[in-house]
A and B are shown apart, each in its own frame.
Chain A
Amino acid sequence: MLDPARESPALELERTSTLPWPGRVAAVGRRRPSFDAGALAAAIPAFLVLLPLIGLALTWLHLDGEIWAHLWRTLLPEMLLNTTLLMLGVGATTLALGTTLAWLVTTYTFPGVKLIEWMLVLPVALPGYILGYVSMSLFDYAGPVQTQLRAWLGPDFELFEFRSLPGAIFVLSLALYPYVYLLARAAFREQSAAQRDAARAAGLSDRAIFWRVALPLARPSLAAGVALALMETLTDFAVVRYFNVVTLSEGVVRLWIIQMDRDAAVQLASLLMMMALGIVLIERRLRSRARYYQLGGHSRPIAPIRLSGPRVVAALVGPLALLFVAFGLPVAQLAQWAVAEMASAEPGTLDATFGQYLFNTLALSLGAALFVVAVALGIAYALRPRGSQAKANAVLRFLAHLATLGYAIPGAVVALGVLLLLAPLNETVLAWTGGAVLLSASVVGLLYGYLVRFLAIGFSGVEASLEKVTPNMEMAARSLGAAPARVLTRVHLPLMRTGVLAALLLVFVDTLKELPVTMFLRPFGMETLSVWTYMLASESAWQAAAVPALTIVLASVGPALLLIRLSRSGAQNNWETRL
């Protein structure tokens, strides 16, 4: 296929100029000893984060044939099939939805396009375990939608069985398409008008431009978006359970908690981990074969095409209908339940529980955000390029990037990994603390789990903003006589403030919404909003679950909107795609 990007010399030029610092900078700073303490400081936390994953990977050394034979005879084929179909379904649907919507809002202009552009991100504020149960209550056979349809169309009318694989694909796609949408939108935005003009001059129709120019150029971003959606799909065990779809993640939880067969759960978890890593590898490959990034703002932006007449209606109705099903309707249902619950609850009981759980959630999320971003800052700062040192720590850089793989690993697997690692220390810590702290179910274990899972988010944000500080700036400050500490406070931190704050916010919200790690590693009595929501929802106490669920949604809306603001800058695109 013709690849216009590869042929464009202008693009080539832009690529060379994107290097963050030109060539080799002369070493102005003092000569460093070959033993680099800073790099070591980065290596230790990075290694600690990898440990639970290594622990799980090591189980491949003593594969238990009996367990695998048993799994193969029972649920494994179904799990593999369902997981594959689920990923194909969610991957294809999010790709189609995200790309189409991004193309719509970047290529065309029509009344309300700005509003729709940001509203399309909103569904990301509804985690699957919330959207799943609300959709179930609305769309299953006994729900109001199908009941009304039966009233209109006769008692024999039935939509497809909602408690099924297609139902799960439906819910997960609605919850996850914003990842693809955000990245596709940023990618389309960055494409230059010059390319489009050239394509047009070559006689390509608008449709051909989409398929043969815009789409191939956006491929790395689309791959990254779909990879994110697939990782979230792989980690989910709640939605698939509502929908009776036995997947690998659900299987790990089933073996571990229900069949109480931890050995089998660990073996299956290691398989799941390999699959997650497989997605990362495929995504990287897709991206590395096509490195034609353009920086936004350098070239003439594309002038959007104005729509008129019936096309405006079509452009409005599609996204709005999607938003209604994916966000408007579920939130309205949650609000209605929450109001009913608050009206019917015994005075005092709801306030007390809710207050306590909210406090736990906020404290944990804040703690996780500070902890994860602090570790990320440490690693990123130690690994920053410093003049002649730029190449020296390639191994550590690799290690650090490897440590951010935790984001791809399903939460239940991370929880098992942390548990395996900490359980041998349980006795000792219990003895020290007089039985007060079970290490594997303590705040320490929980924060450790969050670190493994969310380091990528913290690290990418921090690293992207650290790249704004070029070695020249640092050296200039040093040559003007500033001590290293002063360089840090006067140069690095002010320049990085926005990035660090954004990283804090994103880790905060991801922790607030997080379910599996919290569920399996939380200490005694540490109920959080997400666990509370899931437990009530899985018992069909839907009205009672609405209060914490709505709180999670409201808390996530702000940061979701922040994402779209941040993704206007090229740095953010880099951040989002680098996992």
Chain B
Amino acid sequence: MNRRKFLLTPIAGALAMVSLSLTQPAPTAAQTKVVNVYSARHYGALEKVFAEFTRETGIQVRLSNASTQALLERLRAEGPQTPADVFFVIDVGTLQIAAEEGLLQPLQSEVLNAVIPPELRDPKGRWYALSLRYRTLMYNPAKVKPSELSTYEALADRKWRGRLCMRPATHIYTVSLVASMIANLGERRTEQVVRGWMANRPIFIDSDSRILDTIAAGKCDVGITNHYYLGNKLKSDPNFPVKLFWANQKDRGVQVNLSGAGVTANAPNRENAVKLLEWLATRGQDPGVAGLPGGNSEYPVNPSAQPPEVLSQFGSFKADLASLPQYGPLQTKAIKLLERVGYK
């Protein structure tokens, strides 16, 4: 695309949008089928999935994006009068908190109950997992032998001083990882571990993707990131020099998190919201339609759906599903622990 065209396209597009919106009165909710989604998932991949949903069902998806925590704060402020129909976030703890606070309504959907395993949905049907992600160890194979790695806790060992890359406490991923550790190890032991990490002077990088780049460049040897960041890197560069190690395979298994959604307590477009969830749990799981998990190298929740091709090299592994229900109840404790320890 030449430079002029590149500059003109957006401007022409904007002018077209402005004139369109001026000439056509905005359709009211009664005329168009819409569903309002508060989403913490990344842009791009998700919009493709929603575009497919609209094509198949005729229901327009209106997105409002923010971080998981910001969305919860907003949902609380709006209470029963929220315009949102679907609360779609990337952290199960937050879904549990929203459900406990009465912000989400229980659904009785046979479709959802049939395709999503019971441990990946709220027993009362207030939230459902839609894709799975695992937060695990990543290492530079030129500097670390896989036999040196074992658990999250072992990264507190002195031998890792100056060799770790970690995500700051400002991100919910870190909070839920610590919550899962508290669930398994108790608060005292977890605090010891996190203090051990801190003593190793990790480099804090607020981006899983950049953590992988930094491991690849040789600045740190081991990091903790979600598995799909490596999957996505390998899709564009199969020789990307970072390897995945499934953490804690000899005990509880790797930490699980999920992207999932619930329908808000007073959803104005409840039926469309349920349809969206059901579609995402069925058609949306299929890698063939650039589905929700597939577009982002995540694992599907629907056992009958194939995981994306790139994930096959990661092999099979054991996951810590048992502590999943504790993330929400332990979230505040995890935040306080991180704060107390001085984790950034």
A residues with CB within 8 A of B:
74-75, 78, 140-142, 146-147, 155, 158, 161, 163, 241-242, 244, 246, 254, 256-260, 338-339, 342-343, 346, 349, 351, 353-356, 358-359, 362, 423, 426, 430, 435-436, 438, 440-441, 524-527, 532, 535-536, 538-541, 544, 547, 551, 554
Tally of A-B residue pairs with Cβ under 8 A? 138
For residue B14, which residues in chain A have a CB less than 8 angstroms away from its CB? 355, 358-359, 362
* Bound CA–CA A441/B340 (angstroms): 33
User: Does B235 interact with chain A (Cβ within 8 Å)?
Assistant: no
Tell me whether A338 and B48 are in contact in the complex, defined as CB-CB below 8 angstroms, given that A142-B216, A438-B81, A535-B43 are known contacts.
Answer: no
Contact B84 A524 (CB under 8 A): yes
Task: Given A358-B13, A551-B10, decide whether A142 and B62 contact each other with a Cβ distance below 8 A.
Answer: no
With both chains docked as a complex, state the minimum distance between the C-beta of A274 and any C-beta of chain B, in angstroms.
Answer: 24
Please, could you name 19 A-B residue pairs with CB atoms under 8 Å apart, sorted by A? A75-B342, A140-B210, A142-B217, A244-B168, A259-B335, A260-B69, A342-B1, A349-B44, A353-B47, A354-B10, A426-B77, A426-B78, A524-B83, A525-B62, A527-B64, A527-B65, A539-B42, A540-B209, A554-B7
Q: A342-B9, A355-B10, A435-B266 are in contact. List 17 more A-B contacts (CB 8 A).
A: A78-B342, A142-B213, A155-B218, A254-B170, A257-B70, A258-B69, A258-B335, A356-B17, A358-B10, A359-B18, A423-B77, A426-B78, A435-B83, A438-B81, A525-B63, A535-B43, A539-B42
Identify which of B108-116, B128-136, B187-195, B198-206 touches chain A.
Answer: B198-206
Bound-state CA distance A321–B133 (Å) is: 45
Q: Which of B6, B36, B77, B168 contacts A438 (CB 8 A)?
A: B77
Expressed in whole angstroms, the Cα–Cα distance for A539 and B51 within the complex equals 22
The answer to whether A436 and B206 touch across the interface, beta carbons within 8 angstroms, is: no
In angstroms, Cα B43 to Cα A541, docked, is 9
A244, B171: Cα distance in complex, Å: 12
Partner pick for B47 among A158, A342, A349, A436, CB 8 A cutoff? A349
Q: Whose C-beta in chain A lies nearest to the C-beta of B208?
A: A540
In this assembly, does B74 line the interface, its C-beta being within 8 Å of a C-beta of chain A? yes
Residues of B within 8 A of A343 (CB): 1
**Nearest B residue to A363, CB-CB:** B18
What chain A residues lie within 8 Å of B13 (beta carbons)?
351, 354-355, 358
Report the Cα distance A423→B77, complex, angstroms.
Answer: 8
User: Which residues of B sit under 8 angstroms from A146, Cβ to Cβ?
Assistant: 217
B207 proximal to A (CB < 8 A)? yes
Residues of B within 8 A of A526 (CB): 64
Within 8 Å CB of B216, what residues of A? 142
Which residues of the other chain, B, contact A147 by a CB distance below 8 angstroms?
217
Residue of B nearest to A343 (CB): B1
Interface 0/1 of B65-85, CB less than 8 Å to A: 111011011100110111110
Quick check: is B214 within 8 A (CB to CB) of the other chain?
yes
Q: Does B158 contact A (CB under 8 A)?
A: no
Q: Are B43 and A142 in contact (CB under 8 A)?
A: no
Residue among A141, A244, A423, A535 having the largest count of chain B Cβ atoms under 10 Å = A141
Are A524 and B36 touching (Cβ within 8 A)?
yes
Q: How far is the CA of A158 from the CA of B51 in the complex (A)?
A: 45
List B contacts of A257 (CB < 8 A). Answer: 67, 69-70, 73
In contact, B17 and A359 (Cβ under 8 angstroms):
yes
Contacts of B36 in A (CB 8 A): 524-525
Q: Specify which chain B residues have a CB less than 8 angstroms from the CB of A140 in the assembled complex.
A: 210, 214
Q: Is B21 an interface residue (CB 8 A)?
A: yes
The answer to whether the Cβ of B268 comes within 8 Å of any Cβ in the partner chain is yes
Tell me how far the C-beta of B212 lies from the nearest C-beta in chain A, rounded to whole angstroms. 9
Q: How far is the CA of A362 from the CA of B10 in the complex (A)?
A: 13
Instruction: Find out whether the CB atom of B6 lies under 8 angstroms from the CB atom of A339.
Output: yes
Q: Which 3 A-B pairs give the minimum distances between C-beta atoms?
A: A435-B81, A142-B213, A540-B207
Assess whether B205 is in contact with A163, with CB atoms less than 8 Å apart: yes
Give the docked Cα–Cα distance between A74 and B341 (Å): 8
In the complex, are the beta carbons of A163 and B204 less than 8 A apart?
yes
**CA separation between A441 and B77, bound complex, in Å?**
9
- What is the CB-to-nearest-CB distance from B117 to chain A, in angstroms, rounded to a whole number? 29
| Cα A241 to Cα B167 with chains together (Å) | 12
CB neighbours of A163 from chain B (8 A)? 203-205
Residues of A within 8 A of B42 (CB): 539, 541
Give Cα A67–Cα B161 distance, bound, in whole angstroms. Answer: 34
Which residues of B, 310-344, contact A by the 8 Å Cβ criterion? 335, 339-340, 342, 344
Across the interface, do B64 and A524 meet the contact criterion of CB distance under 8 Å? Answer: yes
How many Å lie between the Cα of A440 and that of B73 in the bound state?
12
Q: Are B78 and A438 in contact (CB under 8 A)?
A: yes
Chain B residue numbers with a CB within 8 Å of A539 are 42, 207, 209
- Cα distance, A541 to B7, chains bound together (Å): 21
Bound together, the chains give a CA A426 to CA B77 distance in angstroms of: 8
Contacts of B65 in A (CB 8 A): 527, 535
Cα–Cα, bound, A436→B214 (Å): 46
Q: Across the interface, which residues of B come within 8 angstroms of A554, CB to CB?
A: 7
Tell whether B219 is near chain A: CB-to-CB under 8 Å: yes
Q: Which of B202-253 contact A (CB under 8 A)?
A: 203-210, 213-214, 216-219
List residues of chain B with CB within 8 A of the CB of A440: 77
Q: Which residues of A contact B69 (CB under 8 A)?
A: 257-258, 260
* Cβ of B289 under 8 Å from chain A: no
**Which B-chain residue is minimally distant from A554 (CB atoms)?**
B7
Most A Cβ at <10 Å: residue of B18, B62, B70, B340: B70
Q: Smallest CB-CB separation from B205: which chain A residue? A: A163
CB neighbours (8 Å) of B217 from chain A are 141-142, 146-147
- Choose from B1, B9, B64 the contact partner of A351 (Cβ within 8 Å): B9
In the bound complex, how far is the Cα of B51 from the Cα of A525, in angstroms? 16
A259 adjacent to B339 (CB under 8 Å):
yes
Whole-angstrom distance between the Cβ of B66 and the nearest chain A Cβ: 8
Contacts of B168 in A (CB 8 A): 244
- Check if B185 is an interface residue, CB within 8 A of chain A: no
Which of B10, B73, B206 interacts with A538 by CB under 8 Å?
A: B206
Of the residues A161, A342, A353, contact of B6 by C-beta under 8 Å: A342
Report chain B residues within 8 Å CB of A258. 69, 169-170, 335
Nearest A residue to B42 via CB reads: A539
Contacts of B51 in A (CB 8 A): 349
